Amino acid sequence: MAAHYVVRHVDRADPAVIAALGDAGVATVHEAAGRVGLLGPAIQARQAGVTIAGSAITVSCHPGDNLMIHAAVEVCQAGDILVVTTTSPSTDGMFGDLLATSLTARGVLGLVIDAGVRDLASLRAMGFPVWSAAVHAQGTVKASPGSVNVPVVAAGRLVRPGDVVVADDDGVVVLPAPAGEAVAEAAAKRISNEEAKRATLAAGTLGVDLYGLRPLLHDLGVEYVDRLPDR
């Protein structure tokens, strides 16, 4: 029989670093990290205009069974984000407003789940944000063992306990905690650079000129003509 664990201790990143990454947002963090860390697009925001950033508390569940989510609540701290996976694909509604109420009491910021959620209207009303692979009213049982705070794979991405999770309308990105500071610095530089570009574009400069793309277009054989040539 495979071993199952609830690991109590997690090494978390500096809160200031996590906050800086949250301010930068998913797209900028992904680019600043070298275009790594994105969860697949199956994981979607189930509310609009919400950004969270925190430390991952990971959960591995049997499909259709949310026992280990309940077990995970005890080891969560304020500022954490619960990341839930199943050992085989599942779209069952493994999480709803009662679990959200329990997590809110612990200061958990939100949920990322590679499975389904339900009670979506209630979750939105209570302001508990979720990113999920499905919305499905199908209920679950509490019967099968799993693990808390072990490495898991969510939407094709390895997530370790304590990883920095940033989630917004664009999706979810995950970084190893030790990489957080360097990525936050790179993200800040990227934001400053983009602000300058935004001002230039707003003044009317074209992207092909701003980025020096005309020689590339020429080298690729792209021609500018007033009309298509007769064939």
Asked whether 57 and 76 are in contact (CB, 8 A), the reply is yes
**CA neighbor of 161 nearest in space, from 45, 51, 80:** 80
Annotated binding site for substrate: 96-99, 118
- Report the distance separating Cα 151 and Cα 127, nearest Å: 28
| Greatest C-alpha distance within the chain | 73
Annotated binding site for Mg(2+): 119
Asked whether 82 and 104 are in contact (CB, 8 A), the reply is no
Asked whether 67 and 226 are in contact (CB, 8 A), the reply is no
Annotated binding site: 96-99, 118-119
**CA neighbor of 146 nearest in space, from 6, 24, 29:** 6
Contacts of 56 (CB under 8 A, 6+ apart): 80, 81, 83, 159, 160, 161, 162, 163, 164, 165, 174
